[in-house]
Structure 1
Amino acid sequence: MAAPLKLISHKLCPYVQRAVIALAEKNVPFERVDIDLANKPDWFLKISPLGKVPVLVVATARGEVALFESNVICEYIEETQAGPKLHPGDPLVRAEHRAWMEFGSALLSDLWGLETTTDPTTFESKRQAVATKFARVERALGEGPFFAGDRFSLVDAVFAPIFRYFDVFDELADLGIFKDTPKVRGWRAELARRPSVQVAVGADYPQLLRAFLKRYDAHLLKVAA
């Protein structure tokens, strides 16, 4: 019997990873379908208004329903699936968590510039922007090990894919992003050990990310050289 949930994915997409982590945390079976975003199939464009991944296809009595946007998908998973709660029960704290999820998306926008730019000035500007944002995260963190203490949440699911980039970046160059953020470093290490985070990508992720950087002739590779 096919899984009732189908996740349309791309192997490098950090937004897809959020959804995979949420599903794994709740032990929900699903089918993952990877597509090539450089050559999007027609069937995908018909169900994804923005032409982006992830898309979660939900089987219902009235047919398949396609949900798009990663935070929307994560919220749906939280609201409909059994298993540990990934949002706080208190409405105000829950709203704070949703705000930090948006902050994670803003961080990803800076990271996109950091990894794709060929210009050294833009690279340094994005490096500083990323470092500044992580300094802000440092001030928000408590004792850990997760964002909200000892309970894994959707904020953790959002930030784990961000940290994963640096597993490759750190092998290329010392960007100094986490030099003055000991709490962030501890959080990063804890998330890297989380089984749901580990299964969110394939074993070929580092090679694929390096190939992506080469395709863009990223300045990051010149820093490494």
Structure 2
Amino acid sequence: MSLQPIELISFNLCPFVQRSVITLLKKGIDFKITYIDLSNKPDWFLAISPLGKVPVLKYGNAVLFESAVINEFLDEITPPSLLPTEPLTKAQDRAWIEYSSQLLMAQYMATLATSEAEFSEKQAVLNDRLSKIEAAMSDKRYFNSDNFALIDSALAPAFTRFDVIKQHCQRDLLANFPKLSQLARHYLALSYVQTSVIKEFGEVYLQYLSDKGSYLSTQAQ
């Protein structure tokens, strides 16, 4: 199948954009990425993004938004598929992809807590999200398979951020989740996960947390 030119509109720290970058890299799809400043969104972006959010995918003259939709589109136009073929299993993966967005939001809220007390409160919510994912995981290499799937594209960005926090803020937020800790190691060893973020991601991410007055950033070394 001959593909149209693909351009992904991004913010350089957005985990939802990272999901689509992982899928693009995993499937070997040629693409261009354009970064914008979300605090000063250009008019051309607002004209094509109904929600004013990233990611936005330009496919030729067509525009798609929402990372789960973008990923399924990319998967469908470049076989073999990263979704299960059995209808029930496919539906379950789609449900967990939706749930993974709640994980990312809980992680975001915890990392932006500005005091130890607020961090503890937000971490409790994050731990609840993590415990449900840990309970749902198989004993396979990835979330529910030995083969990397779209659910893994959806989950992996959270683990990229957990790793920066562990390495630089002295907080292993996965310490009480052995299956997720193992999953993190598998994800972070993949070249298409490693290269799905900007080269200076750790430094930029920590600076972002510091600029937001994050409690975690005060623990950075």
TM-score after normalising by structure 1? 0.91
Question: 2:51 corresponds to which residue?
Answer: 50
Say which of 164, 167, 184 aligns to 1:168: 164
The 3-state SS of whatever aligns with 1:169 is helix
- Given that residues 127 and 175 in structure 1 are in contact (C-alpha distance below 8 angstroms), is that contact kept between their aligned partners in structure 2? no
Question: 1:142 corresponds to which residue?
Answer: 138
Question: 1:204 corresponds to which residue?
Answer: 200
The 3-state SS of whatever aligns with 2:38 is coil
- Given that residues 64 and 70 in structure 2 are in contact (C-alpha distance below 8 angstroms), is that contact kept between their aligned partners in structure 1? yes
Does 2:109 match 1:113?
yes
* Deviations, residues 11-31 of structure 1 (Å, cap 9, x unaligned): 110000110111111111011
> 1:53 is aligned with what amino acid?
V
Kindly state the Cα deviation for residue 222 of structure 1 after the two structures are TM-superposed: 3.2
Does 2:101 match 1:100?
no
Taking only aligned residues, the RMSD between alpha carbons, in angstroms, comes to: 1.7
The 3-state SS of whatever aligns with 1:221 is helix
Question: 1:20 corresponds to which residue?
Answer: 21
Does 2:75 match 1:78?
yes
Q: What runs of 5+ residues in structure 2 fail to find an aligned partner?
A: none
> 2:48 is aligned with what amino acid?
I
* Deviates further, 112-121 or 169-178: 169-178
- Work out the CA distance in 2 between the residues paired with 1:77 and 1:34: 20
- Given that residues 3 and 31 in structure 1 are in contact (C-alpha distance below 8 angstroms), is that contact kept between their aligned partners in structure 2? no
- Given that residues 17 and 200 in structure 1 are in contact (C-alpha distance below 8 angstroms), is that contact kept between their aligned partners in structure 2? yes
> 1:76 is aligned with what amino acid?
F
Question: 1:131 corresponds to which residue?
Answer: 127
> 1:187 is aligned with what amino acid?
L
- Work out the CA distance in 1 between the residues paired with 2:113 and 2:121: 11
Does 2:212 match 1:216?
yes
- Work out the CA distance in 2 between the residues paired with 1:202 and 1:95: 32
- Given that residues 131 and 177 in structure 2 are in contact (C-alpha distance below 8 angstroms), is that contact kept between their aligned partners in structure 1? yes
> 1:37 is aligned with what amino acid?
L
Runs of 4+ aligned residues of structure 1 deviating over 3 Å after TM superposition are: 172-176, 222-225
Aligned in 2, Cα 1:3/1:207: closer, same or farther, shift over 3 Å?
A: farther
Q: What runs of 5+ residues in structure 1 fail to find an aligned partner?
A: none
Kindly state the Cα deviation for residue 116 of structure 1 after the two structures are TM-superposed: 1.6
- Percent of aligned pairs with the same amino acid: 37
Say which of 154, 157, 168 aligns to 2:153: 157
TM-score after normalising by structure 2? 0.93
- Work out the CA distance in 1 between the residues paired with 2:78 and 2:149: 14
Say which of 181, 187, 208 aligns to 2:183: 187
The 3-state SS of whatever aligns with 2:37 is coil
Question: 2:174 corresponds to which residue?
Answer: 178
Kindly state the Cα deviation for residue 122 of structure 1 after the two structures are TM-superposed: 2.5
